[in-house]
Amino acid sequence: MTNKEGFCRAIKTIFPNTAHAFCQAHYLKNIAEPVADVDESLKVSLRKNVRSEIGDLIRSEHHGEAQGRVLTVTGILPSPIDDPESNTPPKKIREEQEDIVNALIRRSRYLLTLKGRPPFRLAGIEMFERLTGLILELDEFICHIPDSRLLELQQGICIALKNASNEYADIKNAAGWLQDISDLLEVDEKNPRTSKNVRMELFVYLASIKKQGEGNPILTDFAPKICKTTSNYASGLFHSYDNLDIPRTNNERESEFREFKRRFLKITGQKGATLRLIQRSGAWELIPTPNSISEIVSAISQTDFGEFCKERQRVRSHRERFRLHTRSADQANNQLKKLRERWLEIPADELSE
């Protein structure tokens, strides 16, 4: 007997007339397991294929910047500057080209590290789509200046994506099923439904995905597993539609545990955060803030201004490496837009490969 079965029997014995609801969020996560497993396989194979095609290219830039990636600054923390690039001397054309190419290579390398968060954030699908978006972005860069490394990057990713396209299409289809089931379970306040209505709609939809999966070995495997898990949850999946006091998920209660854990980690120290902060922001040793203007002047006067500016620029350059290390599509698109604008400002006729 599993823990779930024993728990349900105990509830039924002690509270025989009480409707015991199952968390719909856990239900969605469980029906996503077979899809998530195949998606994980897609992610691994896609990452392997990309590294097989352009591994030397994406690793070369990384090794080139290995030295000095952790910075230590001792002294007064400088005040924030609104425009970090305003006091930076203009770069030479070749240096600007190198910076932009390296940033695009770093973006491709970062996309190979994505992790899945089922039921809806599937890393294999996301990696495929983000890499597809990247090669489309590279078209404009290459049209302006046909840099050999960007051409190699684009061609290598294209080959890897082509090899995974069929598997991606099947998993994307199954991911659509998960989203449809989630939408079907949503409460419509304008058109309320009874538990009987929702149950019927759900099982009708499950019958339809069985037909959709016929003839496809991957989808044929997904549909029965989703149906079986749904049958196991059916006894407690629909009570909330008849009784609005019964929550559809355990999210509110689990958020209390997450908040407790967050506060606990805030007090005791977050595991893994120290290394991540050091790698991305550098290690800083700060002296106490002076209490008066005279003390501030005295402290700053002991710091060589040239060395201070040089160290500040090192910190900016270090942080710049992580600009495209973001899963947010909006943030990534914004950074790519800035890179594209900088790239188009490079005079192509003055630059030779």
DSSP symbols for 141-198:
HHHHS--HHHHHHHHHHHHHHHHHHHHHHHHHHHHHHHHHHHHHHS--SSS---HHHH
Locate tokens 């790698």: which residue? 279
Does residue 84 belong to any structural domain of this protein? Answer: no
Residue 193 in this model has a pLDDT that exceeds 50: yes
In angstroms, the CA 273 to CA 303 distance is 31
CB 226 within 8 Å of CB 31: yes
pLDDT at 292: 81
CB 152 within 8 Å of CB 137: no
Instruction: Give the domain range for residue 197.
Output: 23-77+90-346
Segment 128-178, tens digit of pLDDT: 999 999 999 999 999 999 999 999 999 999 999 999 999 999 999 999 999
pLDDT at 267: 65
pLDDT at 251: 77
Q: What 8-state DSSP symbol labels residue 85?
A: T
Backbone angles phi, psi at 128, to 5 degrees: -60, -45
Segment 108-129, tens digit of pLDDT: 999 999 999 999 999 999 999 9
Segment 250-301, tens digit of pLDDT: 877 778 777 777 776 766 665 656 556 656 665 554 455 667 888 878 877 8
Does residue 287 belong to any structural domain of this protein? Answer: yes
Give the residue among 122, 254, 127 at the shortest CA–CA distance from 176. 122
pLDDT at 157: 96
State the CB neighbour count (10 A cutoff) for residue 214: 9
Summary mean pLDDT of the chain:
82
Does residue 7 belong to any structural domain of this protein? Answer: no
pLDDT at 22: 86
Does residue 11 belong to any structural domain of this protein? Answer: no
pLDDT at 206: 95
Q: In the predicted model, what is the mean pLDDT of residues 289-314?
A: 80
Number of domains in the chain: 1
Does residue 2 belong to any structural domain of this protein? Answer: no
Does residue 6 belong to any structural domain of this protein? Answer: no
Q: Is 39 strand, coil or helix?
A: helix
The band of 73, judged by pLDDT with boundaries at 50, 70 and 90, is: very low
The band of 230, judged by pLDDT with boundaries at 50, 70 and 90, is: very high
Residue 38 in this model has a pLDDT that exceeds 90: yes
Residue 36 in this model has a pLDDT that exceeds 70: yes
Backbone angles phi, psi at 333, to 5 degrees: -65, -35
Does residue 339 belong to any structural domain of this protein? Answer: yes
Residue 199 in this model has a pLDDT that exceeds 90: yes
Does residue 5 belong to any structural domain of this protein? Answer: no
pLDDT at 4: 59
